[in-house]
Copies of this chain bind each other. A is one copy, B any other.
Amino acid sequence: MTDTGVTFINVIELPAEAVDEFIVHWRERVARMRSAPGFRDVRLHRALLPDSRFQLVNIAHWDSAEDCRAAGADPIVTASVAEAEKSAVAYPSLYRVVAEYS
């Protein structure tokens, strides 16, 4: 496989009651990032149970780490993230797939 794509995973710790508002602003950020070079797709996952530590997990695919970092450095995106982090603790990182079964 020669695909050099990367997976961006952001694990987000926030109270279940703060999730709905977080999603509103998340959609605004995504609307901007979707048009950035190298964007492939994104899915936002919400915990089935309200007592899960990480209520949201954002998983996106990008052509490269550089593309993902460049999109995240957009001033409008960083301002929105800073606002979101007032009510959430986020752990964003880049990953590659090391094993896969279906």
Contacts and interface: CB of A to CB of B under 8 A. Distances in A.
B101 A54 contact: no
B11 A97 contact: no
A45 B91 contact: no
A99 B11 contact: no
Q: Contact size class for A?
A: 35 or more
A93 B13 CA distance: 13
A45 B101 contact: no
A102 B41 contact: yes
B96 A46 contact: yes
10 A-B pairs with the lowest CB-CB distances in the bound complex, closest first: A45-B95, A41-B102, A52-B93, A44-B99, A46-B98, A48-B94, A43-B100, A43-B97, A47-B93, A9-B57
